[in-house]
Structure 1
Amino acid sequence: MNEVMETVGIFFGYAVLALFAQNAIFTRALGVSRLVQLTGDNRTSSLLFGVLLCVTQVLLAPLAWYLGGLAGRLGLGASARPLVYVGCIALVCLAEHLVLQLTNLPRKDQLLRILPLAALNSCVLGTVLITRTQAFTLTQSVGFGLGSGLGYILAVMLVTEAQTRLSNSQTIPSAFRGLPILLIYIGILALAIYGFTGHTVIL
């Protein structure tokens, strides 16, 4: 029973760590370009994008952990392992696509259109590379994957809300309206969240 509680504690500890102190967007800038493109795009639901990315991260973590370890035991060099992780991402993306095709979920067409963008981006690959270079256990990897996905959703919500408020503000000089003030906001928020970790990675 103690081992189960310890494993659950590690899982949630790494999820919370990835969600706040090691937020993929604000402290590592993983997927920030995609975030900026999504913000203000009425054709794509930012929340659905974040949820699909989160699901992809959680499904990918155990597969990448196992195949990454197997690649190391087979003698594949560090330079070849990112190709293994890209292959893992492709497998997870194909599995998600198949599940979406076979089910009748609401907004199915929109989910199918968003899926490649949510699965094949630097946030997903970067999170896997972090978990492998830090030699996380399986529990730590899955927890970190979940936390990174939730952190992305948090970032999407914060930036979307900020854009709504900033676009309605008349106190912003005209030269800074739109994307410039949004990038300044993201930079200030990133500095504030980076204060959780200081100048070194705490993992």
Structure 2
Amino acid sequence: MFLINDLIALLAANLILSQALGTSTIFIAAGSRKNLVATAGVITIFTTVGSAAAYLIDLVLQPSISDLRLLFYTMVIGVLYAALLVAVYKFGSRWFEELRRYIHLSAFNCAVMGTLFTINKRASMDGTVFNLGGYVTAGFEAGIGFIIAALILTAAYRKLNSSKVPASFRGFPAMLVYLGIISMAVYSLK
């Protein structure tokens, strides 16, 4: 049990604290249209295929060992990460150097792992979602949601990094405040 707690603490520190809730990846995506398309596409692949694998894990996982779900999800994302790197290297070797950066950024992003746990929670609350189609659809929707979030951030990226913003507030701090305001606005629409 201590091993599980330590693993969860390490992953939480990595996924939440050091990645700033996924915003570092979204900032890279917002930097240019090329980055946006590549990062959003790879994250959508990870959320969609990862959701299908999460369905199989949730189907097989016994309630007595459900505490290991995080470990299994992490292993699935790791296998998917390696498989995507190999596939790009084999079939798109001329784009490998460029695309591997986006694969590295996207694989263990909290948007991917959070999607798997969110879908699992929705499936446990509503049994009709607990099928392969429901998992894959929800994973694809999460990828599209990331694209929309990146587009919203792209709209303000240049203005929040301009010389009109005070130097101490420019960049990451301004983006976090902007994201907080946008999050509150979107949440109020529920």
Greater mean deviation of Cα atoms: 133-142 or 85-94: 133-142
User: Is 1:93–2:87 an aligned residue pair?
Assistant: no
In structure 2, how many angstroms separate the alpha carbons of the residues matched to 1:105 and 1:157? 29
Structure 1: gaps (5+ residues): 1-28, 198-203
Aligned match of 1:114: 102
Asked whether the 8 Å contact 2:29–2:40 carries over to 1, the reply is no
Helix, strand or coil: the match of 1:177? coil
Percent sequence identity over matched residues? 25
User: Is 1:192–2:185 an aligned residue pair?
Assistant: yes
User: Is 1:34–2:25 an aligned residue pair?
Assistant: yes
Count of residue pairs brought into register by the alignment: 164
Greater RCO (CA < 8 Å, at least 6 residues apart)? 1
Aligned match of 1:8: none
In structure 2, how many angstroms separate the alpha carbons of the residues matched to 1:93 and 1:76? 28
Asked whether the 8 Å contact 1:61–1:128 carries over to 2, the reply is yes
Asked whether the 8 Å contact 1:68–1:84 carries over to 2, the reply is no
Aligned equivalent of 2:147, options 153, 166, 171: 153
Q: TM-score, normalised by structure 2?
A: 0.75
User: Is 1:180–2:170 an aligned residue pair?
Assistant: no
Higher helix share: 2
In structure 2, how many angstroms separate the alpha carbons of the residues matched to 1:158 and 1:39? 11
- 1:24-63 equivalences under 5 Å are 30-36=21-27, 38=28, 45-63=35-53
Shift of residue 94 of structure 1?
A: 1.7
Aligned match of 1:163: 157
Question: Aligned AA for 2:157?
Answer: Q
In structure 1, how many angstroms separate the alpha carbons of the residues matched to 2:22 and 2:156? 18
Aligned match of 1:142: 136
In structure 2, how many angstroms separate the alpha carbons of the residues matched to 1:128 and 1:181? 29
Provide closer, same or farther for how the CA distance between residues 46 and 103 of structure 1 changes in structure 2, counting only shifts above 3 A.
same
In structure 1, how many angstroms separate the alpha carbons of the residues matched to 2:64 and 2:99? 35
Provide closer, same or farther for how the CA distance between residues 81 and 167 of structure 1 changes in structure 2, counting only shifts above 3 A.
closer
Structure 2: gaps (5+ residues): 1-19, 124-128
